Amino acid sequence: MKLIRNVQNGGIGKYLVINVTKLDQVPTSIEELITQIKLHPESVHLNAREGNREECFVIKLKDQYARAALVAYAESAYRDDPEYSEEVRSLACRAGLFSPWCKRPD
């Protein structure tokens, strides 16, 4: 299996990322989301191509490999910020095989 960004979508990953902290409010409908994005277009990371400043890799908790990734991330962050590390570790407790929706990534 290859990353979708390497075989389609012109080098962009599977998901677009919206930074909700840049919105006035968290939208509860598609209409509100569109309005918020029009007001704050900088909140959407459209250009997450390889090597770009906004490059990202989204991992859903239901991904069977997510727990291992989050545990490693939490361990790496611990020295700089133990509180943040523990919050990431709590996500890991609901990820991968611990998610009721666990599945192999597609």
What are the pLDDT digits (tens) for 61-88? 999 999 999 999 999 999 999 999 999 9
Both ends of the chain: CA-CA distance in Å?
A: 8
Q: Would you say 43 and 24 are in contact if contact means Cβ atoms under 8 Å apart?
A: no
**Residue 70: which domain range?**
59-106
Locus of tokens 């990431």: 88
105 pLDDT above the threshold of 70: yes
Q: Are 69 and 105 part of one and the same domain?
A: yes
pLDDT per residue over 35-51, tens digit each?
A: 999 999 999 987 667 78
- Same domain as 37, residue 8: yes
Please check whether residues 69 and 40 belong to one and the same domain: no
**20 near 43, Cβ under 8 Å?**
yes
- Same domain for 63 and 41: no
Query: Rounded to two decimals, what is the model's pTM?
Result: 0.80
Q: 51 in a domain, yes or no? A: no
Task: Report the domain count for the chain.
Answer: 2
CA distances from 66 to 61, 72, 95 (A): 6, 10, 6
User: Does any domain span residue 104?
Assistant: yes
Q: Rounded to whole angstroms, what are the CA distances from 43 to 8, 22, 97?
A: 24, 6, 32
Evaluate whether residue 40 is within a structural domain. Answer: yes
